[in-house]
Structure 1
Amino acid sequence: MATPEKTFYEGQVLWAQIDANRHLRHSSYADFCAQARSNMLKKIGLSLTDFAKHQIGPILFREELIYHREVHLDEFIRVEVEMNKYNLKNSRFSFRHTIYKENGVKAAEVNVDGAWMDLKARKLTNIPADWQGYIQHIPKSDDYIAINE
């Protein structure tokens, strides 16, 4: 069953995204999830252009891919994104992405942990204080944890 408020990418699997085993290659899952996160940020009011103006960029510390079902050429997929952890003090985040096949079957889950980096200093940074309100509009998982330390 589709969850429109959590769906941030829908599209067809292209030839260039297929591996030698004739299914979606591993790095394509990460690409779809990165696009879904970008779409989600834009939808809540924070485009990557906004981050660029502040010389801030996302950095991932961990990316975990759990396969459930194969995805093949020309299939249509959709990617749901939900935040499952956020640290209010240092803007570190965790997202869960669920990739569904066109028939609604879960194909994969991708979990990432990351933070924001100051692109000039090349060090971790917080997002601007006035952006914290935007974070409230990100869909949260049922097991969401807010950390304030």
Structure 2
Amino acid sequence: MQYHKQYPIRWADLDPNGHMRHSAYNDYAAQLRLDFLEDAGFPLAKFAKLGIGPILFREDTRFLKEISPNETIKVGAELAGLSADGSRWRIVHTIYKADGRESAIITVDGAWLDLRQRKLATPPAELAEALSKLDRHSSYAEIERSPKAGS
């Protein structure tokens, strides 16, 4: 499934140079992930009940074109990797300027954290299935989990 949303740029998103500050790009990608999870039936309250939450291992941002004040951007998400049990994932976000040009590409590697045990967790099957329905990025590759030391 294609998943994207539009967001207006706010005053708080700007830097002293008059364009969107670097960290705001990542904030919009994070918001899109939360919006996707909620739309897939996993609002924050459900994560609290399940005792799990998403975490990031890596966040890589490539800046291509600046975004100006008062633009409305489009942020998309594509799945670039998923482990068989859904416990590890990679998502590529593309942020588009109002005129449709790519402004940034953000790649995140993440997993699920058991909030009680503070350890990595396997998500419920419905959550892994929801993630698997995102459109595949051209770089998609299954994520292989390495066995724990001593196993």
The answer to whether TM tops 0.5 is yes
Please name the residue that 1:41 is paired with.
Answer: 37
Aligned residue pair count: 145
Shift of residue 30, structure 1, vs aligned partner: 1.0
Paired amino acid for 1:81: A
Please name the residue that 2:148 is paired with.
Answer: none
Is 1:68 the counterpart of 2:64? The answer is yes
Matches of 2:80 and 2:70, distance apart in 1: 31
Matches for 1:119-134 after TM superposition, within 5 Å: 119-134=115-130
Change in CA separation of 1:42 and 1:139 when aligned onto 2, cut-off 3 Å: farther
Judge which range, 106-115 or 124-133, deviates more. 124-133
**For structure 2, which runs of at least 5 residues remain unmatched after alignment?**
146-151
Secondary structure, aligned partner of 2:141 = strand
Matches for 1:131-142 after TM superposition, within 5 Å: 131-142=127-138
List per-residue Cα deviations over 1:107-134 (Å, max 9, x = no partner). Answer: 0001100100011111111102343332
Paired residues of 2:32 and 2:76 also in contact (CA < 8 A): yes
Shift of residue 148, structure 1, vs aligned partner: 5.5
Please name the residue that 1:6 is paired with.
Answer: 3
Q: Percent identity?
A: 38
Q: Flag as ranges the 4+ runs of structure 1 deviating above 6 A.
A: none
- Residue number among 110, 113, 131 corresponding to 1:117 in the alignment: 113
Shift of residue 146, structure 1, vs aligned partner: 2.4
Change in CA separation of 1:102 and 1:130 when aligned onto 2, cut-off 3 Å: closer
Is 1:108 the counterpart of 2:87? The answer is no
